[in-house]
Amino acid sequence: MDLTTVAALLLDMDGTLVDSDAAVERAWHTWAAEHGVDPAAALAIAHGAPAADTVRRLLPGLDEPAGTTAALRQLELQYDDLADVTATPGATDLIAALTRLGLPWAVVTSADTRLAKARLAAAGIDPPVLVTTDDITAGKPSPEGYLRAAELLGTPPARCLVVEDAEVGIRAGHAAGAATAGLKGVAADLPIGDLGQLATLLLAARA
């Protein structure tokens, strides 16, 4: 794909910019045990999606108050579990490249604001724009978060590159009208091994 047309990057957080996979899995294992859910079933659909949406899919029989309580419990398990949360490989290289190129960027995450800020701080990342589930009415695969981030950056979605490690996020990026880059073998317009590779490609495209 032609990276010279990219005017802004919209980055997912968990698994893309921040390595929090172990913390996420620990939280879902604990939550699943508490709620009588198969942990494997929870992890199979949890990645990249808001916790509330995953809880509703796993426990469709809950009424709204009970569903809200169950989702809040899942988030509580994650808030303080930051011991091994770090930046993903190449994340700092990508941020440095974006600064060098003058490309605006934002983080768009399925986490709420409290969790997003905690994990980004643990990873040493301070995004200029952050869009969380607190800022939108529908999470991924809805394009709302990516459309909101593009608006805040003042960039048409068609000139944004969405960077994701989950299929649900790629679907959200495409629905927003953006090009996509996929980590971890996720099908996307531009497959990448890590964020360092993306940094190299962006710098080369503008050399």
Structural domain that includes position 94: 3-20+85-205
Neighbours of 190 (CB within 10 A): 16
E-strand stretches of the chain: 8-11, 18-19, 86-87, 105-108, 130-131, 160-164, 179-182, 190-191
d(CA 150, CA 9): 9
- Of the pLDDT bands very low, low, confident and very high (cuts 50, 70, 90), residue 157 is very high
Q: In the predicted model, is pLDDT for residue 21 greater than 80?
A: yes
Sign of CA dihedral 74, 185, 116, 8: negative
- Of the pLDDT bands very low, low, confident and very high (cuts 50, 70, 90), residue 47 is confident
Domain limit, last residue, from 79, 96, 123: 79
Task: Work out the angle between the directed axes of helices 167-176 and 144-153 (0-180°, nearest 10).
Answer: 60
Judgement on whether residues 93 and 168 belong to the same structural domain of the protein: yes
Judgement on whether residues 49 and 151 belong to the same structural domain of the protein: no
pTM, entire model? 0.87
Judgement on whether residues 52 and 141 belong to the same structural domain of the protein: no
pLDDT value of position 160: 98
* The two three-digit tokens of residue 166, written as one number: 């989950």
- Of the pLDDT bands very low, low, confident and very high (cuts 50, 70, 90), residue 150 is very high
Domain count, the chain: 2
Judgement on whether residues 55 and 72 belong to the same structural domain of the protein: yes
- Of the pLDDT bands very low, low, confident and very high (cuts 50, 70, 90), residue 175 is very high
| pLDDT tens digits along 100-120 | 999 999 999 999 999 999 999
- Of the pLDDT bands very low, low, confident and very high (cuts 50, 70, 90), residue 137 is very high
Judgement on whether residues 197 and 105 belong to the same structural domain of the protein: yes
How far CA 6 is from CA of 40, 88, 159, in Å, comes to 37, 22, 5
What are the residue numbers of the active site?
12, 14
Q: In the predicted model, is pLDDT for residue 11 greater than 80?
A: yes
Judgement on whether residues 97 and 74 belong to the same structural domain of the protein: no
